[in-house]
Chain A
Amino acid sequence: MGDWMTVTDRGLSSESKSISQYTSEIKMSPSSLYSQQVLCSSIPLSKNVHSFFSAFCTEDNIEQSVSYLDQELTTFGFPSLYEESKGKETKRELNIVAVLNCMNELLVLQRKNLLAQENVETQNLKLGSDMDHLQSCYSKLKEQLETSRREMIGLQERDRQLQCKNRNLHQLLKNEKDEVQKLQNIIASRATQYNHDMKRKEREYNKLKERLHQLVMNKKDKKIAMDILNYVGRADGKRGSWRTGKTEARNEDEMYKILLNDYEYRQKQILMENAELKKVLQQMKKEMISLLSPQKKKPRERVDDSTGTVISDVEEDAGELSRESMWDLSCETVREQLTNSIRKQWRILKSHVEKLDNQVSKVHLEGFNDEDVISRQDHEQETEKLELEIQQCKEMIKTQQQLLQQLATACDDDTTSLLRDCYLLEEKERLKEEWSLFKEQKKNFERERRSFTEAAIRLGLERKAFEEERASWLKQQFLNMTTFDHQNSENVKLFSAFSGSSDRDNLTVHSRQPQKKPHSVSNGSPVCMSKLTKSLPASPSTSDFCQTRSCISEHSSINVLNITPEEIKPNQVGGECTNQKWSVASRPGSQEGCYSGCSLTYTNSHVEKDDLP
C-alpha cells in the first residue's frame, strides 16, 4: 500500500523519469505487476494526456515535437516515424504510414491498456473488499483472542484462588488434625494422669481403709453384734455343713453341671433350629428343582455352554436328594455339597429370573404396540370405563323409574290409557279366542257350503234330468193332444207332489243359498263376530261390526307395536297379517304376554317421552 502511494506521487511529478523508474521497478517487484501496469498506462494517459497535448505541439514546434515523438517512439521500440534517410544531410521525411501505424498501434495499445486497467481496477476492488473482509475477520479474531485470553486469565485466577483456598483448607485440616491429635494426646495424657492420680488416691484410700478397718474391726466393738431371739431353721431344712475340700469339689461339680446343662440346652436348641432350617432348605431345593426341571430343555437349547453343565449338576443333585439320609449326616460332610448345589441352583434360578425380567421389560416396552397383551393400565381403563357405563345405565334406569312414577302419578290420562291398553289386551285375548272359534266355525261353514254346492250341482243334474223327463213327457203330451184335461190334472199332481216332499223343499232352499254365496261369506262371519263381541261385557264397542273391526285393528296395531318393534312392518302390510301375528305373539301364556307387553309399553312410552323434549 505504502509503495503504491509513493509511486503515484513520483509519477505525477515527472513522467519520463517515472516511466523508467517504473520499468525498473517492474523488475524489482514483480509481485506488484498490476499496479505497475496501472501506473504505466493509466496515470500518464488518463490524467495528463490532455494537458500534455495542449501544451506539447504548436504550429511552431511541429518539427521538434515530431522528432521528439520519433525519438520517444524509437526508444519504445516502435519503428521510426521518419523514412529511411539516404543521407544525413537530407531532411528526413515524416513517414505518414509509419505515423499512422504507430498511432494505430498506440491506440490498440491504449485500448488494451484500458481494458487491462479495467480488469485491474475490478481486481483491485475485489481485492480491496477481500482485504476489508479479511481485516474485519482479523479484528474479530483478535477480539476473540483477547476475550479468550481474558477468560483464560480469569479462570487461571480462579484456579489460583481455589488452589489457594484448597491449600488453606488443607492447612486448616492439617491444623485440625493436629489439634485433634493434640487433644487426643492431651486426653490420653490426662487419662493416664487421671488414672495415675486415681491409683495414688485409691492407694491412699486403701491405706486409710485398712487403717480404719484395723481401728474399727480389730477393736472389740461391743456394738457390732446380732441380737436374735432364736436361730431359725434353714429354708431347705438341712443343717449347715462345714466347709471342707469335699464341699468345694461338690460346688465345682455343681457349677460344671449347671454349665453343662446350659450348653446342652443350647445345643439342643441349635440342633432343633438346624433341623428346621435343613427342612426348609430341603423343601426349597425340591421346589427349585421342580421349578427348574421343566425349563431344563429350553435353556439348554438357548445357552448350551453356560447352563448346560450346571443343569446336569442339578440332575445329579436331584438324584442325590432322593437319599434322605443325607440330611441326617453331620453338616461337615454334606455342607459343601449342599451349599454348592444350592448355589448352582440359585444361580440358575437367578439367571432365569433375570431372563424373565428382561423379557417382561421387553414386553412392557413393546406392550403398547402389542395388541394381544393387554397392559394393566388398559385393563384398568377398560374396567373403569365399563364401571362408568354401568353407573350411567343405573342412573338411566333410575331416572326412568322416576319418570315412570311421575307419569303414573301426574298423568292420569296416560295411565288410564295404559290401563285401558291393559284391558284391551285382555279383551284382545278373548277376542283372539273368539276369533279362532269363529275361524273354526267359518271352516265348518265352508265345509257345509261345499257340501251344499255339491248337493246343488247334484240337484241341478237331477233337475236337468227331470226337465228332460218333463220335456219327453210334454212331448208325449203333445203327441197325445187328444186328451188336454188329462194333461192339467197331471200337472197339479206334480206340484202337489213337489210341496209334499220335505226333502225337496230343503233342497231348494239350500240350492238357493249357494247362489248368494259371494256376499254371504263375508257378511255371515262378521255377524257371528259381532254376536260374540256383544257377549263380552268389557268390550267398549257394542254391536256394530265395523266399529269392532276398526277397534281391533287399532288396538292390535298398538299392541303389536308394543310387543315387538319388528312386527310393525307386518302390521303395516295388512290387517289380516297383523291379526295372525298378534295371535302368534300372545300364544305363549296369556298372562306373560300381557306382562311383557305392559313392561314394554312402559319403556316405549318413556323412550317416547325422552325423545319429546
Chain B
Amino acid sequence: MNFSEVFKLSSLLCKFSPDGKYLASCVQYRLVVRDVNTLQILQLYTCLDQIQHIEWSADSLFILCAMYKRGLVQVWSLEQPEWHCKIDEGSAGLVASCWSPDGRHILNTTEFHLRITVWSLCTKSVSYIKYPKACLQGITFTRDGRYMALAERRDCKDYVSIFVCSDWQLLRHFDTDTQDLTGIEWAPNGCVLAVWDTCLEYKILLYSLDGRLLSAYSAYEWSLGIKSVAWSPSSQFLAVGSYDGKVRILNHVTWKMITEFGHPATINNPKTVVYKEAQKSPQLGLGCLSFPPPGAGAGPLPSSESKFSLQTLKPVTDRANPKIGIGMLAFSPDSYFLATRNDNTPNAVWVWDIQKLRLFAVLEQLSPVRTFQWDPQQPRLAICTGGSRLYLWSPAGCMSVQVPGEGDFAVLSLCWHLSGDSMALLSKDHVCLCFLETEAAVSTACRQLGGHT
C-alpha cells in the first residue's frame, strides 16, 4: 500500500472523474484537476467565490462548481480550458445543483424549493419545474440516465413526477400515499422506484416506471420509521434500515420481507467474527508506512468467549434526530455483502452475508465510524473513523493502515477510484491518495496480521 503526497483541500471537495482519469479537488475558490496516475495538475480553474459543491459531468468533460452563498454555478470544460459558463440564480438563490445524466444540463434548485431550473449547455432553453419537495433525496436518476424521478409537494400532498431526461418531458405524474415523503430511489435496473415516508411513519412504497404501485410495506406503526434505504446492485434486494435498529430485506418478486437483521449490542453467535480495534502505544517511526503488528490495530477478537458486547450509546430521546437506528447501509458491488451502521453503536460496522442471510463480521473501532464505502470492483470495505487510520475489511480479514505524514491525517471521508486500485482520503484540509496493492499482496498482508479466521 502506497500513499501519495498530501494536497490541500477545502470543504472535503474532492472527486474522481467518472472515467477514472482525473481527480478534481477544491482549495477555497480554486478548482484543481489532476491526472490520477501522475497526480500532476492538468487544469487549474479559479471561481468567483469559495466553492461549496463540485460535480463531474457523466462524460467527465465538465465540472460544475456551485457557490450557494452567491447563488452561482460555474462550469468548466476539461477539453477547452478557456471555455467558461456561469449560471447566476440571482435573487432566487440556490440550494442545490446537479448535472443531468447526459452531462449537458444543470438542475438548480432555488431557495425555499420554489422551483428547479434546468439549464442547458447546448441550447438557450431553460426549463422550470415547479413544486419540488424539500426533502432529503428528492431527485433521482435511473442508472442508464434515461429517467428522472422528482418528489413534489402540491396542496399538501406528495407527488412523484417522472421525466424523460433527453427532452425533460413529463412521463408520469402520480400522487403517493405518503404523509410526508422523505426520499425516492430508483432500483439499479431503472424499473422500480422506492418511495419512503417520513421517519414518523414506517412506510415504503414501490412504484413501477409507469407509475403503478407495485407494493407497499410497513413493518410497524407508532414509532420512528425508516432511516435509510439501499438497493442491492442486482436490484434483487431492498434493504431498509429503520429507527428500531433493524435492517429489513425485501425481495424483488413479492416485495415482502425476506429477513430482518437485528443489531443487538451483544453478539452471541460464535460463527461471527468480531474485529475489535485495540489501543496501541503511539508509534515512534514517523513517515513510514506502518502495518500494525499482530495483536495490535484491528485484530480479531479471540473467539473463545461466546459473547461479545459492543459499546453502545444511550440516545437522548428528547431531541430531534435521535442517534438510534440504522443510519448507513451499503451493498457490496457483487451484492453478496451488506455493511450497516447502527447509530447507537457508532463504533461498529456490521457486515452481513446476503447469500446466507446472516451476520458475517462485526468491526468495532475505537472511535465512531464516519464513512464506509465498498470497493467498486470487489467485496472490500474501506472505513474511516476520523482518525489517522484507514481500515479495510474483506472476507479474508481485516487490516488497518496508518496514513503517513507529518502530524495526524484525520481521515474524515474517503472515495474509491473506479478501478478499486486507489482511493482518495480526505481530511479537513488535505487530500491524500492511497494506492492499494493487488489482491494477492493484500491477502498476504492480511495473513501477516495473523490468526484471522
Residues of A within 8 A of B (CB): 184, 187, 195, 198-199, 202-203, 206, 209, 212-213, 216-217, 221-236, 240-241, 243, 247-248, 251-252, 254-256, 258-259, 262
Contacts and interface: CB of A to CB of B under 8 A. Distances in A.
Contacts, number: 114
A203 B122 contact: no
A187 B153 CA distance: 25
B318 interface: no
A232 B153 CA distance: 34
Query: What are the nearest 3 A-B pairs in CB distance?
Result: A223-B90, A224-B90, A228-B85
A234 B171 contact: no
Contact of A236 (B82, B102, B156): B102
A221 to B, nearest CB: 5
B290 interface: no
B89 A224 contact: yes
A226 B85 contact: yes
A231 B59 contact: no
17 contacts: A198-B180, A199-B156, A213-B114, A213-B115, A216-B91, A221-B90, A221-B92, A223-B88, A226-B87, A227-B88, A229-B85, A232-B83, A240-B167, A251-B167, A255-B147, A258-B209, A262-B191
Interface string B91-120: 110000000001110000000101100011
Contacts of B121: 228, 231-232
Contacts of B69: none
A234 B102 contact: yes
B156 A235 contact: no
Contacts of A243: 167, 169
B169 to A, nearest CB: 6
Nearest to A262: B191
Nearest to A232: B121
B164 A234 contact: no
Nearest to B58: A235
A206 B115 CA distance: 12
Given A213-B114, A213-B115, A236-B102, A256 B210 contact: yes
Contact of B171 (A195, A217, A232, A251): A251
B292 interface: no
Given A225-B87, A229-B85, 6 more contacts: A223-B91, A225-B90, A226-B126, A236-B102, A256-B210, A259-B209
A261 to B, nearest CB: 9
Interface string B199-225: 000000000111000000000001000
B209 A234 contact: no
Given A203-B156, A234-B102, A221 B123 contact: no
Contacts of A229: 82-85
Interface of B: 58-59, 77, 82-92, 102-104, 112, 114-115, 119-126, 146-147, 153, 155-156, 164, 167, 169, 171, 179-180, 189-191, 208-210, 222
Contacts of A233: 122
Contacts of A195: 179
> B125, B169, B180 — which one has the most chain A CB atoms within 10 A of its CB?
B169
A221 B102 contact: no
B85 A251 contact: no
A235 B92 contact: no
Nearest to B235: A262
Contacts of A241: 167
B114 A212 contact: yes
A258 B145 CA distance: 13
Nearest to A256: B210
B210 A235 contact: no
A217 B91 CA distance: 9
B222 A184 contact: yes
A231 B123 contact: yes
Contacts of B123: 231, 240
B85 A227 contact: yes
Contacts of B58: 235
B59 A202 contact: no
A236 B124 CA distance: 18
Nearest to B119: A226
B130 to A, nearest CB: 8
Contacts of B164: 251, 254-255
Contacts of B90: 216, 221-225
A425 B85 CA distance: 115
Nearest to A183: B222
Contact of A258 (B85, B122, B156, B190): B190
B146 to A, nearest CB: 7
Nearest to A203: B156
Nearest to A200: B156
Given A231-B122, A243-B169, A258-B191, A216 B209 contact: no
A226 B179 contact: no
Given A240-B122, A240-B123, A235 B167 contact: no
B92 A232 contact: no
Contacts of A232: 77, 83, 104, 121-122
Contact of B209 (A203, A226, A228, A255): A255
A251 to B, nearest CB: 5
Contacts of A184: 222
B66 to A, nearest CB: 14
A230 B83 contact: yes
Nearest to A217: B92
Contact of A198 (B102, B120, B156): B156
A224 B169 contact: no
Given A236-B102, A240-B125, A256-B210, A225 B83 contact: no
Contacts of B104: 232, 234-235
A202 B156 contact: yes
B91 A221 contact: yes
Contacts of B125: 240
Contacts of A212: 112, 114
B171 A252 contact: yes
B416 to A, nearest CB: 25
A196 B77 CA distance: 49
A232 B91 CA distance: 27
A251 B112 CA distance: 31
A236 B126 CA distance: 20
A458 B104 CA distance: 149
Contact of B210 (A198, A203, A206, A255): A255
> A236, A243, A251 — which one has the most chain B CB atoms within 10 A of its CB?
A251
Nearest to A240: B123
Nearest to B189: A262
Nearest to B62: A232
Nearest to A221: B90
A204 to B, nearest CB: 11
A246 to B, nearest CB: 11
Contacts of B59: 235
A81 B13 CA distance: 158
Contact of B169 (A228, A231, A248): A248
Contact of A235 (B103, B119, B171, B179): B103
Nearest to A208: B112
A224 B92 contact: yes
Nearest to A231: B122
Given A198-B156, A234-B102, A262-B189, A225 B88 contact: yes
Contacts of A256: 210
Nearest to B180: A198
A241 B123 CA distance: 11
A191 B102 CA distance: 43
B270 to A, nearest CB: 26
Contacts of B88: 223-227
Given A203-B156, A235-B102, A258 B146 contact: yes
A240 B112 CA distance: 31
Nearest to A225: B88
A236 B85 CA distance: 20
> A213, A235, A247, A258 — which one has the most chain B CB atoms within 10 A of its CB?
A235
Nearest to B191: A262
B158 to A, nearest CB: 11
Contacts of B153: 202
Contacts of A217: 92, 114-115
A259 B208 contact: yes
